[in-house]
């Protein structure tokens, strides 16, 4: 995992220590941009709106994001989703709130 993502994960871990979340880097391949995705387990959040506000402020002010040329992806920002079984059914009943950043796109 790139250093910038590790630093962001550490920051989020300190500010959202009671929440279960994961970070991943998704390779965009030849024709798309790479993405950094943070997903938070919805039922471990004290306040989903507080998380949305926090992530909005972070996306506009965090120097790590700016140095890493990461910009929020409006199509995958604060979106609630789950793991599907192919029919659209939630496999394990867990819902996630996704925040995605596009890397290196100006």
Cα–Cα distance for residue pair 73/39, rounded to 1 Å? 13
Structural domains in the chain (count): 1
- Grade residue 105 by pLDDT with cuts at 50, 70 and 90: low
Cα–Cα distance for residue pair 3/17, rounded to 1 Å? 20
Mean pLDDT, all residues of the chain: 90
Domain of residue 11: give its range. 3-103
Q: Which residues contact 52 (CB under 8 A, 6 or more apart)?
A: 78
pLDDT at 42 over 80: yes
Enter the pTM of the model. Answer: 0.87
Q: What is the mean pLDDT of residues 37-48?
A: 96
């Amino acid at each position: 995992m790139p250093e910038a993502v590790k630093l962001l994960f550490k920051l989020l871990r300190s500010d959202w220590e009671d929440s279960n979340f994961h970070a991943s880097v998704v390779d965009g391949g030849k024709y798309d941009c790479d993405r950094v995705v943070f997903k938070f387990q919805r039922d471990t959040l004290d306040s989903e709106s507080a998380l949305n506000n926090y992530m909005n402020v972070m996306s506009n002010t965090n120097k790590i994001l700016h140095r890493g040329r990461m910009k929020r992806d409006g199509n995958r920002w604060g979106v609630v989703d789950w793991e599907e079984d192919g029919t659209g059914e939630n496999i394990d009943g867990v819902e996630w709130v996704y925040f995605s950043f596009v890397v290196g796109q100006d």
